[in-house]
Structure formats: C-alpha cells, structure tokens
Amino acid sequence: MTDRLLLLAPRINDTGLHLLTAARRRGLRAQTATRWRVPEGLAESGAAVHLYGGPLFADAVGRELGIAALADPQDWLAGLPRELTGRAVVLTTLAEARGLRRPAFVKPPNDKLFPARIYPDGTGLPGADALEDDFPVLVSDIVTFRREYRLFVLDGTVRTGSRYLLDGRLDLAPLEEDPLRREVLAFAAEVLAEGGLPSAIVVDVGLLADGTWAVVEANCAWASGGYACDPEAVLDTVLRAAGPESACAPADLPFRRPLPEIVR
C-alpha cells in the first residue's frame, strides 16, 4: 500500500491542529512543514502527499510533490443566477476595476494578493507596480449578510457545516445546532445543482438583510478554516481537494490550480 501523508503549512491554525489529530486518529501520517518548501527527502520518498495550507503554500510545494489542488473556477460566482447571488457580480480585470467610481466589494477570485473588502472606488486597489493590469478580480454590489455559513462539500453533498458570522460578528456553531439548518441545506442544494464546481470544495452561503438567501463565495477546501465543522468530514474533503494528481478523477482535472515550477 502506498504511504500517504498529510502535509500542513508552517503557520498551522486551529483547523490544521484538528486535521492533524483527525488524520493520526485514522492512522494517516501527518506533519507540519517547518519551511515554505518541500521537506527534505519527501519528494523522493514515493509517498502520496495531500496538502492543507493557503495558496502560497500550495504554490511553493504542490508541483514538486505532484499535487492536484482543486479550486473553484474564477468565474463561478459571477456565472450564477442573480437569484442565487442576491447581487450583481462580475469577473473583470484589475485595470477595469481601478476605473470604478462607486463603492463595490472587490476581491481576487482564488488568492489573497490584496484585501477582499468594500472599496469606496477603484483608486484604492493595487497599482500596476504591484499587480498586472490583467489580474482577474470579482466586483460585487454591496449587500449585508445577517448570517453566514461555511459548508464543506464532497461529491455534491454537504458533508459538514458551521455558522461563522452573526450580524457581522464571529459566532461559531455547528450547523446541526443552528435553528436555520434546514433552510441552509435547502438553499445549498439549489446552489450545488447549478454545478460547475470540483468534487471537493467549500461553499459559503448567507442570509441577507432582506431575508433572502445568497451565495457568499466558494473557497478551496485545502485552504479554508473549518470553524465549528466536524474535523473528520473536513479531513475527507481536504484529502480529495489536494492530493496526488495521479489519483485525480477525470472530472476534476479541469479544476486544478495552475502550480508554478519553483527554481531554487
């Protein structure tokens, strides 16, 4: 049997600690990297490596380790029907977004190369000296979410979920304990029926101030906090979301994050 290993980024968070425990409980080797590079000898060991960490860690070690790190398409949120997003969302370029002359919520689709937040206009976005003009960004109308939920999705089914925000404040609770659990799952089923996502992903949804449900965003499972989700179900999703490319299902191949070749 091929040796399997869960490799975590050096800056381990609470979710990472829960994943370490869950992995070792089921007999899966797990370790935290000490640097932002492949641990010595790991690439030559023949181990089937899975990854948990942010985009920078995936970019630093993923290609050398032969990992397929699944991500939502950059245009997924913008391509959803308005009745599921509750607002206008467009995928555009940073150059175009710099021309905004109105407040908008602006974020990178799959990275954290600048803060995702409300910008009074486009003048506060990174300049051409920081990011290329054609860098993709999502621009959304401003809405107010009263409640927000994180859902770890595997094979089109919500495996575990957590409330994480209540009226703008961090407020964690397992989805099973939330009074709106059935509504969350019913809305999630509508969203997932639209398709367009890899087999292992995180989808955040929320309740707007007007009482309607809307998608917040999708996120890479291998880079997402688990909040009050069940660690075992989070681990199942993470293992699928970032594992050996040789084991990647054909349907998931188009969702692989492009990983750079690191020259040392």
Whichever domain contains 172, its CATH number is 3.30.470.20
Residue 263 has what pLDDT? 64
Whether 153 is covered by a domain: the verdict is yes
pTM of the model: 0.95
165 and 205 co-located in one domain: yes
154 and 165 co-located in one domain: yes
Whether 103 is covered by a domain: the verdict is yes
Whether 180 is covered by a domain: the verdict is yes
Residue 1 has what pLDDT? 44
* pLDDT mean for each 10 residues of the chain (264 residues): 87 93 95 94 92 95 97 97 98 96 95 92 91 95 97 98 97 98 98 98 97 97 98 98 97 96 71
For the chain, the domain total comes to 3
Side-chain-side CA neighbours of 249 within 13 Å: the count stands at 10
Whether 208 is covered by a domain: the verdict is yes
DSSP state for residue 138 in the 8-state scheme:
E
Per-residue b or e along 202-233, where b marks 16 or more CB atoms closer than 10 Å to that residue's CB: bbbbbbeeeeebbbbbbbbbbbbbbbbbbbbb
Could you tell me the residue range of the domain that residue 61 belongs to? 4-71+242-255
64 and 133 co-located in one domain: no
Whether 107 is covered by a domain: the verdict is yes
210 and 151 co-located in one domain: yes
Residue 2 has what pLDDT? 64
